[in-house]
Amino acid sequence: MTAARGRTGRPPLTEARRTEVRREIARAAVDLFVAHGVTATTGEQIGRAVGLSARTVWRYFPSKESCVTPLFSEGIATLTGFLRKWPPGQPLDRALDAWLTSGPDLAGGPDEVTVRSLVRLTRTEPGLRAVWLQTYDEAEPAFARALAERAGLPPDDLRVTIRAAMFNAALRAAVEHYAWRDNTTRSAQAPHGEQGAHTTAERELEATLRQALATAAEGVG
């Protein structure tokens, strides 16, 4: 009898590393989409930007448009966590103040410039638009579960369903409003230097989120 052969080849990636690879692919895809457009960007180009083959890219994502999914879904995860921590009986705007002043990454990972560039593309690129809307469609049950836990209600309670839909719509509308606005005024008002521009973008995104969620709070309440 011969001894069983051990497994050869590269060791399997840890889940943390797989998450990081997905994020690297997503960022590379956004950069290429912004620079060349979605149609002109190939899987080979995305892979080459992060040192991977196109075949490896397709192991992580079914299409080039879906490569940006982590940049959408991480933001949703951040907001779901916020909803779970929203204390019962505390107004949403007060809880939102505490969350924003604690210094979280509003986008759940990508910076505001990346978010704006990506969401602006969803207005003209049908494939990216589909991924964007699917992300929010899948997020709504997560929002419902978080709101249900807070209220002590079952996730399929109609009140929870409506509140989650309102929160979801307000969030998407806020990010789109921020991203789709003309950059002329924003650029003119931004302080000199990249850091100043980033701070201005961060403040504007924060203010837009506050306004949208405060409006939704009238019904989520």
Domain identity same for 206 and 152: yes
Domain identity same for 75 and 177: yes
Does 46 score more than 90 pLDDT? yes
pTM of the model: 0.76
Provide the number of structural domains found in the chain. 2
Does 58 score more than 60 pLDDT? yes
Domain identity same for 58 and 73: no
Asked, for residue 2, whether it belongs to a domain, the answer is no
Buried b (16+ CB within 10 A) or exposed e, 42-62: ebebbbebbebeeeebeebbe
Does 52 score more than 80 pLDDT? yes
Radius of gyration of the chain (CA): 20
Domain identity same for 25 and 40: yes
pLDDT at 49: 96
Buried b (16+ CB within 10 A) or exposed e, 129-164: eebbeebbeebbebbbbbbbebeeeebeeeebbebb
Domain identity same for 23 and 73: no
Asked, for residue 197, whether it belongs to a domain, the answer is yes
Domain identity same for 107 and 21: no
Reported confidence tier of residue 31, pLDDT bands at 50, 70, 90: very high
Reported confidence tier of residue 193, pLDDT bands at 50, 70, 90: very low
Question: Which CATH number belongs to the domain containing residue 136 in this structure?
Answer: 1.10.357.10
* Tokens 């369903």, residue located: 161
Residue 115 near residue 68, CB atoms below 8 Å: no
- Name the residue range of residue 109's domain: 68-220
pLDDT at 121: 92
State how far the Cα of 58 lies from the Cα of 126, in Å rounded to an integer: 20
Reported confidence tier of residue 220, pLDDT bands at 50, 70, 90: low
Domain identity same for 185 and 79: yes
Domain identity same for 216 and 193: yes
Domain identity same for 44 and 73: no
